[in-house]
């Protein structure tokens, strides 16, 4: 950590997505925006991949910006989508690499099936276009949404999910689910800290939190664009009650020209507490 980062007014953003998953900003562009907005530390937490980690850390060193190696792992529990953020992970971890390879294969098969389902409905988008959008990153529904938009089937990514890709729609095909406990284990085996992301979005949040705490959860993302002040305080109280750390981030994807990176007031003290715990 850089010495000048102990300033009480230093700000951070620990939830950002790059072009290595479903974001529209490259790691280099993320570093540039973070610099311009006066951030002192960031974490690129791409979905199910650490492909951005090495280049982001190197660029961060040159820019005098701390980059915390991160990942976001998605699982499901009793019909609820749950996302776990991993911080300070070792990108070379065998468990992490094995998980990433398994997910890559599973996502490709799922994306092919979604495209086949859409084609049977008369939506003639080739799978190769979806692959090109992913550009080597794990393929997800956002990439299919981009193709639907560009081919004129929808007017926005939002409409793509509302009509074709969202819950109970034709493209709502289940993805690989490794479960809550295994997700925490993978983060821990990679030497990282496991955080529950944007808990307000989880329908069965209380049950999920109780299970995760038992599995060794380290913290909660208390600051997020979908968290009102009331929810921030609520989850902050839970963190204090169970001696959990707090994190926060913009969850920036850079879609539709909305670059929210660094726009939330997330204190550097969160990262200091995380650093102390990881030691």
pLDDT in tens, 159-181: 999 999 998 899 999 889 999 99
Residue whose entry in the numeric block shows the structure tokens 């969202």 = 166
pLDDT tier at 217, thresholds 50, 70, 90: very high
Number of domains in the chain: 2
- Do 112 and 204 have their domain in common? no
Does a structural domain hold residue 170? no
Please give the Cα distance from 236 to 134 (Å, whole number). 36
pLDDT tier at 7, thresholds 50, 70, 90: low
Q: Which two tokens stand for residue 108?
A: 């490709």
Does a structural domain hold residue 3? no
What pLDDT sits at residue 103? 86
DSSP 8-state assignment for residue 47: B
Does a structural domain hold residue 246? yes
Does a structural domain hold residue 57? yes
Mean predicted confidence (pLDDT) in 196-225: 96
- Do 270 and 183 have their domain in common? yes
Please give the Cα distance from 162 to 156 (Å, whole number). 10
Domain span holding position 117: 105-165
- Do 76 and 188 have their domain in common? yes
- Do 228 and 249 have their domain in common? yes
Please give the Cα distance from 43 to 12 (Å, whole number). 9
Residue whose entry in the numeric block shows the structure tokens 């707090």 = 246
- Do 228 and 188 have their domain in common? yes
User: Where residue 244 sits, what CATH number does that domain have?
Assistant: 3.20.20.140
Please give the Cα distance from 228 to 211 (Å, whole number). 24
Q: Is 48 left (phi over 0), alpha (psi -120 to 50) or beta?
A: left
Does a structural domain hold residue 171? no
Q: What is the pLDDT of residues 30-74, one digit of tens each?
A: 999 999 999 999 999 999 999 999 999 999 999 999 999 999 999
Distance of CA 28 to the CA centre of its chain: 18
- Do 32 and 161 have their domain in common? no
Does a structural domain hold residue 4? no
Does a structural domain hold residue 6? no
Question: Is pLDDT above 60 for 2?
Answer: no
- Do 63 and 189 have their domain in common? yes
Residues 6+ apart with CB under 8 A from 161: 141, 145, 169
User: Where residue 159 sits, what CATH number does that domain have?
Assistant: 1.10.150
Does a structural domain hold residue 256? yes
Q: Say what the pTM is.
A: 0.87
Mean predicted confidence (pLDDT) in 78-92: 95
Question: Is pLDDT above 90 for 203?
Answer: no
């Amino acid at each position: 950590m850089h010495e000048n980062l102990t300033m009480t007014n230093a700000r951070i953003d620990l939830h950002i997505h790059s072009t290595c998953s479903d974001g529209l900003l490259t790691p280099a562009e993320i570093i540039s925006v973070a610099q311009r907005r006066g951030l002192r530390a960031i974490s690129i937490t791409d979905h199910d991949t650490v492909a951005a980690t090495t280049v982001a850390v190197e660029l961060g060193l040159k820019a005098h910006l701390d980059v915390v190696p991160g990942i976001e792992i998605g699982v499901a529990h009793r019909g609820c989508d749950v996302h776990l953020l991993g911080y300070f992970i070792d990108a070379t971890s065998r468990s992490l690499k094995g998980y990433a390879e398994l997910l890559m294969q599973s996502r490709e098969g799922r994306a092919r099936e979604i495209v086949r389902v859409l084609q049977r409905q008369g939506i003639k988008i080739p799978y190769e276009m979806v692959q090109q959008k992913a550009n080597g990153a794990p393929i997800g529904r956002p990439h299919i949404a981009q193709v639907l938009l560009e081919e004129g089937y929808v007017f926005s990514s939002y409409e793509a999910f509302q009509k074709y890709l969202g819950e109970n729609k034709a493209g709502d095909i289940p993805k690989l689910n490794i479960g809550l406990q295994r997700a925490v284990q993978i983060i821990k085996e990679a030497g990282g800290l496991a955080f529950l992301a944007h808990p307000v979005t989880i329908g069965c949040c209380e049950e999920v939190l109780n299970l995760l705490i038992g599995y060794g959860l380290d913290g909660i993302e208390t600051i997020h664009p979908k968290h009102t002040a009331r929810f921030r305080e609520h989850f902050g109280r839970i963190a204090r009650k169970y001696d959990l750390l707090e994190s926060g981030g913009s969850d920036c994807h850079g879609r539709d020209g909305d670059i929210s990176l660094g726009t939330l007031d997330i204190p550097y003290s969160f990262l200091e507490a995380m650093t102390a715990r990881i030691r």
